[in-house]
Amino acid sequence: MWFNSISFWMFFIAIAALCVPFGYKTQNRILLGASYFFYGYIDWRFIGLIFFCTALNFLAGWKIGHSTDPVARKRWLTVAVSISLTVLGIFKYLGFFSHELSRLLVSFGVLESPWIIHVALPVGISFFTFHALSYTIDVYRGETPVCRDLGDFALFISFFPQLIAGPINRSTQLLPQIDSPRPKLDEERFKKGLYLVLCGLFMKVVLADNMAWLANHVFRSGLPQQAAPEVLLGIYAFALQIYGDFAGYSAIACGTAIWLGFDLMDNFRRPYFALNPRDFWSRWHISLSTWLRDYLYIPLGGNRKGPRRTAINLFLTMLLGGLWHGAAWTFVAWGAVHGAWLVIDRMVNHGASSEKTTTAKSAVHWLVTFHIVCLTWLLFRAESMAQVANLLSNLVSQWHWTAFASTAATLITFFGLPWLIFEAWLESKRDDWALLKSPWLVRAIIFAALVLYLLFFPPPAPSEFIYFQF
C-alpha cells in the first residue's frame, strides 16, 4: 500500500472520515487499528515483531520511570537496548555477517564454498526500533514522562504515516500530541497538508520514478566500458531519485499527519543547496542525523574530549550510520567517507574567521559539496565495491558523448531542473512555507504545474520506495 497508490488514498480517506466524529481517545484506537492493518497489508508476518518491540520498551520505560534505584534503572535500559538491537541485528545483519565469515573460512581452507543465512527483512524495522529506543532512553534521562497507556505508546511506535520510512519522531514531540485533543482540520492545516502531499507526490512519481530507469541503466547494465558522461549523468539521476523518493515519502507522511491532527518532524530542507558536510547533514534525513547525534555521538563524548576524540566520535557515528542503512560493504564505505569528510571539514574550518562569505565563494562551496555528495551516492547505490571501482575507472577514462548521455541529460533537465529552480526560490526566501504566503495566482500556477506533471508525465514503471528496505 504505497503512498502513491489508489488503495492507500481510499484507506486514508476512510480512516480520516471515521475519526471525525470521535474524541482523541477513540481516534487513537482507530488509528492504532489502522496502523496495524496498514503494516499487515504490506507484510502481515511481522506484526508480532512490532508489538514485541512496543511491549518491551513500554515495560522498560515503565520500570525505569517508577524506580529510584540507579542500578535497576540502568539494568532495564540495558535490557531494552540490548534486546532491541539484537533483534534488529538478527533480521538485518545476520545474513551479511554469516556470508562474510564463511568467505573468510573459505580463504583459510576450512570451508569449500561460502554460504549465507537468509533472513527476511521486516519492512521499516530500523525506523520503529529507533522510535522505541529513543523513548526508553529519554525516560532514563528524565527528558520524557512515562507513558501510562500501552495503546497510546503502541500508536507512537506504529503510527502509519511514519511507520515504514520515518521521519523518526521523538517521544517528546509525538507522545504529547497523542495524549491530548488535536486541532481540527481548518483551512490552514488543509492547505499545508495539500501542499506537502502534492509536493511529495511530484517528488516521488515525477522526479524519483522517472530518474529510476536512468540510474538503473548505469548501475545494473554491467557494461564494462560505460562512457564517463553516462556514469556521471547516472549518478546525477540517482541523486535526484533518492532525494525525490525519500523526501517525497516524508512530505506525504507529514501532510497526511497534518490532516489527521499531528505535526511530524521535518526530515528534509533542500539538502542539495548545502555548502559543507555539516550543512548537508542538517538538511538531509534530519530525524536520523539528529538521532545519531543525540543517542550516539554525544554519549560517545561528542566534542567534549579534545580534537582527536571528537574526530573519532564523528567518524564512528557516520560509520554506524552507514551500516544502519544496510548490510553491505558499500554502505560501510559510504558512512566512512561521510565520516572522514566531516572530520576533515572540522579540522580545516574549526576556529576559522566568521568573515562574510561572498557569492562566488558560496557558489564554489556549493558546487564542491554537491559533487562530493553525488560521488558518495555512487557508493550508496552500487551493488558491490567492484562495481564502484569499475564505474570510477570509467568516470575518469572514458570521456566520449553517447546517445544515452543525450537522452539522460534531456530527461534530467526536463524533470529535475524545474524542481531545483523551485527549491532555489524557497532557499532564497529561507521559508519552507513561502509558497503558501505568495499571491493566489503564483500558488495556482505552481499547483497546476505539479498536477499537470503528475497527469501527463508518469514514469515508465512505478518503483517501490527506496527506504522501505531500511
Cα–Cα distance for residue pair 208/203, rounded to 1 Å: 6
Task: Find where cell 485533543 sits.
Answer: 181
* Secondary element (H or E) of residue 251: helix 228-259
Task: Find where cell 502534492 sits.
Answer: 198
Catalytically annotated residue among 325, 338, 365, 400 = 325
Cα–Cα distance for residue pair 413/102, rounded to 1 Å: 46
Among left, alpha and beta (phi > 0; psi -120 to 50; other), residue 115 is beta
> 60 near 79, Cβ under 8 Å?
yes
Instruction: Give yes or no: 66 in active site.
Output: no
Cα–Cα distance for residue pair 295/291, rounded to 1 Å: 6
In b/e form, how buried is each residue of 312-337, taking b as 16+ CB within 10 angstroms?
bbbbbbbbbbbbbbbbbbbbbbbbbb
Cα 419 to its chain centre, rounded Å, is 20
C-alpha cell recorded at residue 253: 507522511
Cα–Cα distance for residue pair 235/297, rounded to 1 Å: 30
Q: Which residues are annotated as catalytic?
A: 325
